[in-house]
Chain A
Amino acid sequence: MGVGVDTVRAGVPRGWLRRARIAFAVVFFGGLGWAFLDLANRMSSALIGALTWPQFVPSALRWVAAPGLAAAGFFAVLGMTLVFGRVYCSAICPLGVLQDLFSRASRWLGWAGRYRYARPMQRAALLVFAIAVVLLSLGYSGLFGFLDPFSAFGRLVGDLARPVLVAANNVVAGFLGSFGIYRIYRVSMGGASLGAAGFSLALLLLPLVLSLRRGRLYCNLICPVGTLLGLVSRWSLFRVRIDRGACVKCGDCISVCKAECIDLKKGAVDAARCVACFNCLSVCPEAGVRYGMAGGGRVGSAEGSMAPDAQGRREFLGVAMAVAGGASFVATPARAAEKKGVSGDALKAAAAKPSRIPEVKHFPVSPPGSGGIARFNRLCTGCRLCVTACPSHVLRPAVREYGLAGFLQPHMDFGVSFCEYDCNRCGDVCPTSAILALAKDAKRLVQVGRVVFTRDNCVVQSANTACGSCAEHCPTQAVHMVPFKDNLTIPEIDVDRCVGCGACEHVCPTRPYRAIYVDGNPEHRRALPPTKEKVDQTVPKDFPF
């Protein structure tokens, strides 16, 4: 692959480092790409957990929420960077690998030529990094999600690639269905919309466009993880160096360096920007590029790697303090969630008589396991993994529901679907623990919202006809039917046994206002368990006819 790489000369097989990097990149990019595309929800949450464990930002947020081994991935990344340099950026970060694919494609198409050395833009990078830290510290995790490379990748795949795959799948499903083959079935677009796609495209176009000509410039200028790991990798034990004794200054290494960080005039590699892709090692015809430990004899003597200078260290310390401050701020108790009136799809009229009393919703509904709105807003970067994994597609990226703090974080949209009583998948896949994994028994008792019944909107009352759709769907019988008149029954609610799944709201036929709906709990509560009563077991001996 690539521009004359895999050159192996005179018993110096240096290509294996690059090949190993590519192998890891394939695993993480392919695996996570599939996790965000998985139309049939077949991917196991254990595999998703393994692939997201070393993702830096999700792991760090998980540490804030629930320190432990499951959240230690970002420590591993920091340690790995100290030893090997920014291998994370090359092999683990899916957005990094996606940019590599774009770079490669643009070179195949002849849109871009060879890479050239570029001067570092450290101040600009630190400025963006500071913005990221501020967003995170103020609790704007959803906005921060645009800068977090993992979440940005999820949004790109979820908002742009997934709808294309769904559309293609549905064309194939329709075609095969006409031949009586149902193995491939139609899939919902989920939360996909042109608006969301356009928004994601507008804000996330930058890494893709930059990568077309400038390789990993985004990672070294915008990405906060790249900047942080760049600061750490200044001290990394192993790094790429130029062996000035062997180097003939042919420039082949520069031409394949997507980080644009090899300065042959100085005979130096900028360790802060090097993403450890090892392309230079593979391409060098003279074994003039080495990857090894600092001070390792001949290579070390011919110093070819930029050492951490005093200024860099000062800047790093400043930023580190800001990060620490930000993290502690994130961990502080929540600000109250903004109250927002949320209206469902009020336009589809279904019932005979239009309903007259507006729904009054004080809070949106956050997913079960999120604990409450404020906690969720703090910890969710809006990566879309739960949105993809949700079998009923009730989870949708919020636009205004949570306010700015929760922009694009998922909320439960009962206009489109409802939360399946026996499902706990969102918590199983959430990489940041913004949605905690709950056992099914525990999940069935989490009350994410409370049912509200507006009797005057109900068709039983207004039209004197039977309905009961809400009680029919209620898994706990928090909504049940009681005698009304003329053999009719009307809903009655038992709010303390409601789990807020939204089934009643989803199926209620009255418009423009529903007769029954769920108002979110800002802090999730525990619902009372369903009552128990065994029915009479008598069976008639003979047929009653």
Chain B
Amino acid sequence: MRRRQFIRGGIGAAAFATPLVDRLLGSGAQASKLPYDLVAVKDGEPEAMFDKAIESLGGMKAFVQRNQKVVVKPNIGWAVTPERGANTHPGLVKRVVEHCLRAGAKEVVVFDNTCNEWRECYQQSGIERAAKDGGAKVAPGHDEKYYQAAEVPKGKKLTAVKEHELIRGCDVFINVPVLKCHKATALTIAMKNLMGIVWDRKFWHGNDLHQCIADYACQRQPDLNIVDAYRVMKANGPRGKSEDDIVTMKALLVAPNALVVDVAAAKLYGTKPEDVGYIKMAHEAGLGPIALDGLRINRIQS
């Protein structure tokens, strides 16, 4: 099954690697050189699922060159344990870090601008330990001093942000969100996870949150998006009240384009992508397609 899909994907890659797809995906020349636009894996452990996904994209070497500085940005927003599904799975973060280092990265740094007290979040989520075990550095993001002002020239509502200095200084930015329902934006996936690399989120909330997310997603596109859909929060997100909010979906989505991965994740969750404001707005702004037809998708079901 898997091999057949892989082969089919390979053929698809050749057939669809056209300028049209390039334009649609809009994330640079690199994306079209990849065999797939989207890899979806199901029914495995997060680490094994990622191994398969990244292998089918040609390995982490397709994204990380020797001696590059890499930022891996999980969701570490809440001071709760991994079982609560409010943060990215720590095992996945560790495995992503390991792949980056194996590909020759000079250093891999992990951070988030958290919602709860940052040290508690880093610790309770298990991500600090896991990232360090994987060989990454764990950096703080709790103080405005770590952030630098940047313009958002094409932003409709968001015209300026303060970005974390690590995001400004890195060669490769790997976005590792967790799929959750969200009180404010229906869903939080890849684009919404970018709110953890900026400082003044209050402005976003006060000035058309969906538009601000879309504006910034067009401005700062990650090089790779890895969506953790292992434990998926289906109620009371993004923080959740208890483990009762969680469905164990055991899935993983990987794509270079944040909009593509958000569309796929929304469908996986059971929500129409066009019902999520920022997905629709980002599509209208030209970030990518809102339908997955015509994309080269590798579906891996173990």
Which A residues have a C-beta under 8 Å from some C-beta of B?
A: 41, 170, 174, 177, 180, 182, 185-186, 188, 350-352, 391-392, 420-423, 459, 463, 465-469, 471-477, 480-481, 487, 489, 507, 509-510, 530, 532-540, 542-545
Contact = CB atoms under 8 A, between A and B. Distances in A.
Interface string B142-160: 1101100000000000000
A419 to B, nearest CB: 10
Contact of A472 (B140, B183, B249, B270): B183
Interface in B257-289: 264, 267-268, 270, 275, 277
A186 B120 contact: no
A545 B107 contact: no
20 contacts: A182-B139, A182-B140, A185-B143, A186-B146, A350-B203, A352-B207, A391-B119, A420-B79, A465-B209, A467-B184, A467-B206, A472-B183, A472-B184, A472-B238, A473-B115, A481-B184, A509-B203, A535-B246, A545-B40, A545-B267
Contacts of A475: 239, 241
Nearest to B213: A466
Interface in B126-149: 137-140, 142-143, 145-146
Contacts of A487: 275, 277
B24 interface: no
Given A186-B145, A350-B203, A468 B117 contact: no
Contacts of A188: 143
Please tell me the size bucket of the interface on B: 35 or more
Contacts of A352: 206-208
B235 to A, nearest CB: 5
Contacts of B115: 472-473
A475 B208 CA distance: 24
A475 B145 CA distance: 28
B206 A459 contact: yes
A488 to B, nearest CB: 9
Contact of A534 (B107, B140, B244): B244
A471 B301 CA distance: 36
A188 to B, nearest CB: 7
A38 B129 CA distance: 23
A539 B107 CA distance: 38
B246 A391 contact: no
B93 to A, nearest CB: 16
Given A180-B137, A545-B292, A507 B117 contact: no
Contact of B184 (A391, A466, A543): A466
Nearest to B295: A545
List 6 tightest A-B contacts by C-beta distance, closest first: A468-B184, A351-B206, A509-B206, A471-B183, A186-B143, A465-B208
B50 to A, nearest CB: 17
B183 A480 contact: yes
A174 B145 contact: yes
B120 A423 contact: yes
A350 B277 CA distance: 21
Interface string B204-216: 0111111100000
Given A186-B145, A467-B205, A535-B234, A542 B301 contact: yes
A391 B210 contact: no
Interface string B102-132: 0000010100000111011000000000000
A243 B159 CA distance: 84
Given A423-B120, A477-B241, A466 B79 contact: no
Nearest to B109: A180
Interface string B36-47: 000010100000
B203 A469 contact: no
Nearest to A509: B206
A392 B118 CA distance: 9
B234 A351 contact: no
B182 interface: yes
A190 to B, nearest CB: 13
Contacts of B185: 466, 468
Centre residue among A188, A475, A487, A542 by max chain B CB count within 10 A: A475
Contacts of A467: 184, 205-206, 209
Contacts of B139: 177, 182
B206 A539 contact: no
A170 to B, nearest CB: 8
Nearest to A463: B208
Nearest to A174: B145
B204 to A, nearest CB: 8
A475 B241 CA distance: 6
B282 to A, nearest CB: 15
B48 interface: no
A133 B219 CA distance: 65
A489 B207 CA distance: 15
Contacts of A540: 268, 270
Contact of A543 (B42, B145, B206): B42
Contacts of A542: 301
A474 B240 CA distance: 9
B143 A392 contact: no
B184 A471 contact: yes
Given A469-B184, A481-B183, A532-B244, A507 B145 contact: no
Contacts of B301: 542-543
Contacts of A535: 234-235, 244-247
A420 B244 contact: no
A532 B207 contact: no
B183 A391 contact: no
Nearest to B119: A391
B64 interface: no
Contacts of A465: 207-211
B183 A468 contact: yes
A185 B140 contact: yes
A463 B205 CA distance: 11
A463 B117 CA distance: 30
A423 B142 CA distance: 18
B17 to A, nearest CB: 20
Nearest to B111: A182
B280 to A, nearest CB: 10
A533 B202 contact: no
B142 A391 contact: no
B40 A543 contact: yes
Contacts of A466: 184-185, 208-210, 277
A391 B116 CA distance: 10
Contacts of B143: 185-186, 188
B242 to A, nearest CB: 7
A539 B247 contact: yes
In this complex, the member of A41, A467, A543 whose beta carbon has the largest number of chain B beta carbons within 10 angstroms is A543
Contacts of A477: 236, 241
A533 B242 CA distance: 9
A393 B287 CA distance: 40
Nearest to A41: B119
B248 interface: yes
B297 interface: yes
Contacts of A507: 202, 205
A539 B238 contact: no
Contacts of B137: 180, 182
Contacts of A537: 247-248
A545 B244 contact: no
A420 B117 contact: yes
A182 B131 CA distance: 14
B23 interface: no
Contacts of A391: 117, 119-120
Interface string B46-75: 000000000000000000000000000000
B162 interface: no
B297 A545 contact: yes
Interface in B213-254: 234-236, 238-239, 241-242, 244-250
